[in-house]
Chain A
């Protein structure tokens, strides 16, 4: 069993559904969380192979959650891709400063998301 686990932290049901259906055709296993707090809890508990983190989240923002996970021994090396709806200059820097491995602007194309995912985490055959 060589299945790779992806954690997607996103509060919007439809966006989660897109990723769920997108990844259903792949070998990735998807775990979902609705806010920053449960996202951190799931990440620390399940130790996913990659985390997709939305920026605007209830309770704890995606950037703060990323900082928390980077500070933790268990998740400090886990790739984290930040997804932001502020496609502005400075957003990328802020994401990188928080410890993000990658950056994706919303609205993202599912094709691009999958490409980025495969770049960081090659699907196991």
Chain B
């Protein structure tokens, strides 16, 4: 099987060769059969001829016997008419002999010739007899002639018998030959057909297995490849189509293995890079967090002492110092807010931020925001209103963080509005609570809308200087809202105003019913 697989020929050639060999065997068988039939037919013809000859020889014997009879009759009756009958028989005899001679083979020619010589002699005797009858001298020679004729008759009879005998021997030989040819045909045909059947079976078996084995090998190989491991190779003895196929499969596997290795390398590299990035990110967050702490400690002292001075802990504050003292406090608190925002962002990025979920009242929350920012609105002469829908129920969420978001949005609205109105609203939409802060401020150009929630971005860098703020407020708010499972968006027209919306689930942390 492996040997057949290893033959450097296509499967087609192998199959054709196998069929060819079997076909040759069958053709040989047929040729031999035809040959045998022709041979036996010939021999049957010869047998027929021999039969004919035997028949003729027997007629020769009969003619001879009658000739003898008529000779004896002629001698006894001394009648010339009898001679005429002898001559008639002689003619028949000669005809038969001529026929025999025409078909006889060389060795029998002599025999026929001898018969003819004896017959001529016998005819001479008959002539003598006829003469003696005519001359009336028969009486003297009757015995002598009769004896001579008898001797010749015996002689011819013996020779004809030998002819017959020879023919019968030949017939026997022919019959034997035909029988043996038939036997030979049977045996040879049997052997040939048996070997053809065996050969066909063997070729079929071997060739089919030389196909099945590589197909199974390939199946196993492909199954292995399908599991994602490319370390195996197909090893086939085949140097046919399957051999070529195996070569290509191996090349494919090598390529896949190369790609796989590249993929693994890339993944490792990526993982390392990721780890480095995570470490860097964590270091950054830790740095920010530590910095915030370091900044807050002196700020605590600044704000603490200022408050105690303002509260008159160290004695009455002169009137002219009250205003600058107030400025110190305002700027100190502003600095604190900036530090808080940086710290918040650091915490969020480090993944340390968790929501403190609790039940809260949205109108109360909005009211608190309004209360703490009312003085700012009054200073700028802005109308500052709230609009909470009547069906807004008690909600669940991190009220501290949501207050921070609203403070940030409302603070911005107040900051960017010179005249008109700022409104904080809330409405229920299904399982969600939608807060909104609208103003009649400067608005946001459409091309900047997408950037407003990005870190360290304000519509214009000069805006930061003019209005203050880190530019972190919106991105921090966005992160808080996303932590709640909500989203934030803005609708704005330059010169008309902006409305910031954010939606949060009504019951954060509880599965919606």
Hey, which bits of chain A sit against chain B, CB under 8 A?
A: 12, 14-15, 17-18, 21-22, 25, 56, 85-90, 92-93, 106-111
Contacts and interface: CB of A to CB of B under 8 A. Distances in A.
B461 interface: no
A18 B308 contact: yes
Contacts of B344: 88
B313 A14 contact: no
* Residues of A contacting B: mostly: loop
Contacts of A92: 356
B308 A89 contact: no
Interface in B253-303: 289, 292-293, 296-301, 303
Nearest to A83: B300
B354 A85 contact: no
23 contacts: A12-B301, A14-B301, A15-B297, A15-B300, A15-B304, A21-B308, A85-B293, A85-B300, A86-B289, A86-B343, A87-B343, A88-B343, A88-B347, A89-B353, A89-B356, A89-B398, A89-B401, A90-B352, A92-B356, A106-B297, A107-B299, A109-B303, A110-B313
B300 A107 contact: yes
Interface in B373-412: 398, 400-401
A110 B356 CA distance: 26
* Residues of B contacting A: mostly: helix
Contacts of B158: none
B205 interface: no
A87 B307 contact: no
Contact of A110 (B296, B308, B343, B355): B308
B235 to A, nearest CB: 63
A85 B296 contact: yes
Nearest to B355: A89
Contacts of B303: 107, 109
Given A88-B353, A89-B356, A110 B293 contact: no
Contacts, number: 71
B301 A85 contact: no
B423 to A, nearest CB: 29
A88 B347 CA distance: 9
A108 B340 contact: no
A64 to B, nearest CB: 17
Nearest to B299: A107
Nearest to B401: A89
A108 B308 CA distance: 12
B336 interface: yes
Contact of B297 (A12, A110, A111): A12
A21 B400 CA distance: 32
A85 B292 contact: yes
Contacts of A88: 343-344, 347, 352-353
Contacts of A86: 289, 293, 343
B236 to A, nearest CB: 66
Contacts of B297: 12, 15, 85, 106
Contact of A87 (B311, B340, B353): B340
B401 A107 contact: no
B489 interface: no
A108 B300 contact: yes
Nearest to B293: A85
Nearest to A109: B307
B311 A89 contact: no
Given A85-B293, A107-B304, A110-B311, 19 more contacts: A12-B300, A15-B297, A18-B304, A22-B308, A56-B293, A85-B292, A85-B297, A85-B300, A86-B289, A88-B347, A88-B352, A89-B354, A89-B356, A90-B356, A107-B300, A108-B304, A109-B304, A109-B307, A111-B311
B201 interface: no
Nearest to B356: A89
